[in-house]
Amino acid sequence: MAYEPPTHSVERSLRATTGAKIVVGIDEVGRGAWAGPVTVCAAVTGLRRPPTGLTDSKLLSPKKRTALALELDSWVTAHALGHSSPEEIDDLGMTAALRLAATRALDALPVRPDAVILDGKYDYLGGPWTVRTVIKGDQSCVSVAAASVIAKVRRDAMMAELGVEHTDFRFGDNAGYPSPTHRAALRELGPTPHHRLSWAYMDGLPRWRHLKRFRSTSEPVGLEGEGQLGFDF
């Protein structure tokens, strides 16, 4: 499939309008999964020409993603990952869990960015950071595309490791997303310690519904509502 390669347009705009010298791109993976952490990558790329084929990780085959992630590890100026666990997602809600994971990624960088490009239209990060949100930033912005690929490959590897202990769920194949195999295993075996127990899919598990967790606070629909799918779809 043909696609337009990402550019440095947003990075250059932030430098020109805010005086930022170090601009970081942020993308997340795992927000719509039923199991596993939500993972955020923060990537600083400078203004160098990106590796050939760089784009949103969802547009790449697993083989191409893996090869590109290896190249990006040494190509990016700096990058770091942050995670929020299923327990934190259940306790805090997705918006706060994303903020926590992103803050952990930013804090882990060896340099402090002056400005942040955030994929999507919702600023879940907020102050004290200077944030610009970009819809489909993982396709249009070099730094966000790099973060997208690294985050996806690293989280997929983490889920594959978890799948070794829970073979019936096939986490290595579905990365915690609701595949038919995953849903069948949930019906039969119930949730693992890696599942998000506050999510709507628990309502479709009569044998295990007593394990569902509830929060006292609600989240904005734009973030919390995404991925909250039950079994009837």
Domains of the chain: which residue ranges?
A: 8-161, 166-211
In this prediction, residue 3 carries a pLDDT of: 73
In this prediction, residue 4 carries a pLDDT of: 85
* pLDDT, tens digit, 9 for 90 and up, residues 95-138: 999 999 999 999 999 999 999 999 999 999 988 999 999 999 99
How far is residue 82 from each of residues 17, 68, 215, measured CA to CA in Å?
28, 20, 23
In this prediction, residue 227 carries a pLDDT of: 52
Q: How far apart are the first and last CA of the chain?
A: 28
In this prediction, residue 223 carries a pLDDT of: 56
Q: Which residues are annotated as a binding site for a divalent metal cation?
A: 27-28, 119
CA 50/CA 196 separation, integer angstroms: 36
Nearest-10 Cα torsion for 186, 188, 192, 198: 50
In this prediction, residue 127 carries a pLDDT of: 86
In this prediction, residue 221 carries a pLDDT of: 47
In this prediction, residue 233 carries a pLDDT of: 35
Residue 60 in contact with residue 153, Cβ under 8 Å? Answer: no
In this prediction, residue 13 carries a pLDDT of: 95
**Among 124, 113, 139, residue whose Cα is nearest residue 58:** 139
- Residues of the chain below pLDDT 50: 221, 232-233
Residue 138 in contact with residue 28, Cβ under 8 Å? Answer: no
pTM, full prediction = 0.91
Half-sphere exposure of 155 (CA within 13 A, CB side): 31
Q: Which residues are annotated as a binding site?
A: 27-28, 119
Residue 101 in contact with residue 118, Cβ under 8 Å? Answer: no
Q: Which residues pair with 81 in a beta bridge?
A: 41
CATH superfamily, with its number, for domain 8-161: Ribonuclease H-like superfamily/Ribonuclease H (3.30.420.10)
